[in-house]
Amino acid sequence: MDSLLVITALGEDNPGIIDKISETVVSCHCNIIDSRMTVLGGEFAVILMVAGKWNELAKLEDALPAVSAPLGLLMNCKRTSKNPPATDLMPYSVEVVSIDHPGIVYELAHFFSSRNINIHELNTTQYAAAHTGAPMFALHLTANVSADVPVSALRDEFLDFCESQNMDATIEPMKP
């Protein structure tokens, strides 16, 4: 059974970062099984989950500082394990659009956490509205809702909450 390692890296956006990191992963006989990579401002952010035998991951951990230094990356590694599948959770997709203002992520995170609903993934972006150029905010998140939560009540509460915050929103079961 493979062991797992999560690697995060952050540094100035330059060509070749993914090339060098992935080359190092492969040269240590490991495999990238999940990843998120994006440019934020002038910085490039990487999150990888890598699988390999424990000794291959140890070799990778030792090799990464030599890769990160020349690229100017701040890099961290942490061993992890697979989450057991939760059979009593239903994944829901949430979309929110609003005029941008501080606190939107907090307000939405608080809504779900106060109901003991775990946010599995969250992505946001800011963009200029067509015609007016007003700063707009878009959010997509996946929330894992316990099967014992009355979904129609949750949906109503969420939509009422978003309306009170002047946000357009949808909440729907994830489609396979």
Q: What is the CATH number of the domain that holds 40?
A: 3.30.70.260
Look at phi and psi of residue 143 and say left if phi exceeds 0, alpha if psi is from -120 to 50, else beta. Answer: beta
The Cα 132–Cα 167 span in angstroms is: 18
Q: What per-residue confidence (pLDDT) applies to 51?
A: 98
Which residue range forms the structural domain that includes residue 99? Answer: 89-173
Indicate the number of domains in the chain: 2
Q: Are residues 76 and 100 in the same domain?
A: no
Q: Are residues 99 and 70 in the same domain?
A: no
pLDDT at site 85 = 78
- Pair (135, 110) in one structural domain: yes
Same domain? 99 vs 166: yes
3-state class (DSSP) for residue 97: strand
Q: Does residue 95 share a domain with residue 32?
A: no
Answer yes or no: do 74 and 7 share one domain. Answer: yes
Residues 105 and 129 in one domain: yes
Domain boundary among 80, 100, 133: 80
User: Residues 103-161: pLDDT tens digits?
Assistant: 999 999 999 999 999 999 999 999 999 999 999 999 999 999 999 999 999 999 999 99
Tell whether 35 and 58 lie within a shared domain: yes
Residue with tokens 């150029």: 133
Based on the fold, state whether residues 54 and 109 are members of the same structural domain.
Answer: no
- Joined together, the tokens standing for residue 83 give 């989450």
The residue out of 57, 80, 103 marking a domain boundary is: 80
Task: Based on the fold, state whether residues 75 and 96 are members of the same structural domain.
Answer: no
Please say whether the beta carbons of 21 and 48 come within 8 A.
yes
Does 98 share its domain with 73? Answer: no
45-76 per-position pLDDT tens digit: 999 999 999 999 999 999 999 999 999 999 99
- Write down which residue in 60, 80, 100 finishes a domain: 80
